[in-house]
Amino acid sequence: MTSTVAEFQTVAELNELTSVAVIGMGYVGLPTALGLHAGGVAVIGIDLSQNRLEAIRACEVDLIENDQRRLEKAVHQEDFQLTADASRMAEADAILVCVPTGLDEYLMPDLGPLESACAALVAHARPGQTLILTSTSYVGTSGRLLVKPLTAKGFKVGRDIFVASSPERIDPGNVTHTQAETPRVLGGVTPACTAMAQRVLNVLTPRVHLVSSPEAAELTKLYENTFRAVNIALANEFAEISDGFSLDPIEVIDAAASKPYGFMAFHPGPGVGGHCIPCDPHYLLWQLRATQNSAPLVTQAMRAIAERPGQVVDRVLNTLSRNGTGMAGARILVVGVTYKPGVQDVRSSSALDIIDLLAEKGATVGYYDPLAPNVRVTGGSLDSVVEPAGEDWDLALIHTVHPGQDYDWLGQCPIVIDATYRFDPALSAA
């Protein structure tokens, strides 16, 4: 079911939606807030981090060009407000929750930020508001963290207040798939909840795909990212298989992708990172464990993903050995450490595991990434080298290739391993 409101730019006005609060102004919340503001809605951006709020006010944040322009305009306008005061959400007609849903060190969901954001929502809720969870989470989150406590407080959900789930699909750094063109999946607790939430989402996009419940929306998001995780693991495995046959995995993938049905190309790489693929499938696995169920394929894929940095390091070791040297004392440069091209985000980046593993095996490791001047690794922090060309590296390991950067200097490195499998020296910006 896909519904379209043709004149979506005026939807806010038509439905008398005048203000929306966004809780969590991070990689997802900020572009969402800017999209709503550009659609004619007053925005109250709430974040408990003063540092983050200051960075937004100073426009020193990681955004695609269009959103950067929106921000530079919005910060000077009275109807775009930034605050750490959670009680301000009571002023809004609708509230979107975009707080992080990461993992702890045991790969268990870290529900602290979501629980506290929802507790604040319940504490400040007033009749007539529409509350939309957009953070990725386990099935039943909206029910447990919002519907139940709101009901206990005396609200009749679907009559006095409206609750829905619409997990974010935003792809930070991606200029191809805009918010306006990317359909939102939406499931409300009741049809009235769905309708009220749809009027909010229609400010962002005319493309809203309705499902029957918040739970269906929550599971849809877990399925989407689990699908990606499983296919990335398979692409990595196929890269190793191709290598065993001395074949180029990219040639094989491109050839398979010429089939117009039944195949979708995924590419091998050095590992995953960011806030989605390394995390989201664990929300599903955690929930299944609690109900004595299992998902062996997903479990295996996540194990393979966790092992991927180790395989990349083995590739480095084997290459050095073939060249008559070992890892001990080798000077290795990791090229690009953000988890994907074009962003500054190094959260859970496989590059950090790779740096740690190389150092553990005795290599002297440096890295070069103009988008990430400093990273935390085991034992402290590391700065990006400024001039990679001038130094005497034994091996360069390509982890992330940023658009518009000069990589010609790689030609001076005696050994280059391309863990992305798709580095094209001809596209270097020099």
**Candidates 35-43, 109-117, 194-202, 408-416; binding stretch for ligand NAD (CB under 6 A):** 109-117
Q: Is 122 in the site for ligand NAD (CB under 6 A)?
A: no
Least Cβ distance, residue 46 to ligand NAD (angstroms): 5
Q: Which of 179, 180, 185 minimizes the C-alpha distance to 219?
A: 185
Of 276, 327, 334, 417, the residue at the interface with ligand NAD (CB under 6 A) is 276
Q: What is the DSSP letter of 77?
A: S
Partners of 96 in the beta sheet?
Answer: 22, 132
Of 13, 15, 113, 331, the residue at the interface with ligand NAD (CB under 6 A) is 113
Q: Is 48 in the site for ligand NAD (CB under 6 A)?
A: yes
Least Cβ distance, residue 146 to ligand NAD (angstroms): 14
**Candidates 93-101, 185-193, 203-211, 256-264; binding stretch for ligand NAD (CB under 6 A):** 93-101
For residue 184, give the H/E element and its range: strand 184-188
d(CA 17, CA 43): 11
d(CA 12, CA 204): 10
Sheet architecture: strand order including 42-46: 2-3, 208-210, 184-188, 162-165, 130-133, 94-97, 19-23, 42-46, 80-83
Segments of 228-324 assigned E as strands = none
Binding track over 286-305 against ligand NAD, x by CB under 6 A: --------------------
Just list the catalytic residues. Answer: 276
Measured from the CB atom, the residue of 9 and 116 that comes closer to ligand NAD is 116
Q: What is the DSSP letter of 177?
A: S
Binding track over 146-175 against ligand NAD, x by CB under 6 A: ----------------------xxx-x---
Beta carbons of 378 and 317 less than 8 angstroms apart: no
Measured from the CB atom, the residue of 228 and 315 that comes closer to ligand NAD is 228
Within 326-345, the residues that bind ligand NAD by CB under 6 A are none
d(CA 206, CA 117): 28
Within 11-40, the residues that bind ligand NAD by CB under 6 A are 23-29
d(CA 253, CA 251): 6
Measured from the CB atom, the residue of 284 and 333 that comes closer to ligand NAD is 284
Least Cβ distance, residue 172 to ligand NAD (angstroms): 5
**Candidates 4-12, 44-52, 235-243, 404-412; binding stretch for ligand NAD (CB under 6 A):** 44-52
Cα–Cα distance list, 46 to 21, 203, 415 (Å): 7, 19, 48
Beta carbons of 122 and 142 less than 8 angstroms apart: no
Residue with smallest beta-carbon separation from ligand NAD: 26
Kindly list the residues in this chain that would bind ligand NAD in the complex (CB under 6 A).
Answer: 23-29, 46-49, 52, 98-101, 113, 116-117, 135-136, 168-170, 172, 274-276
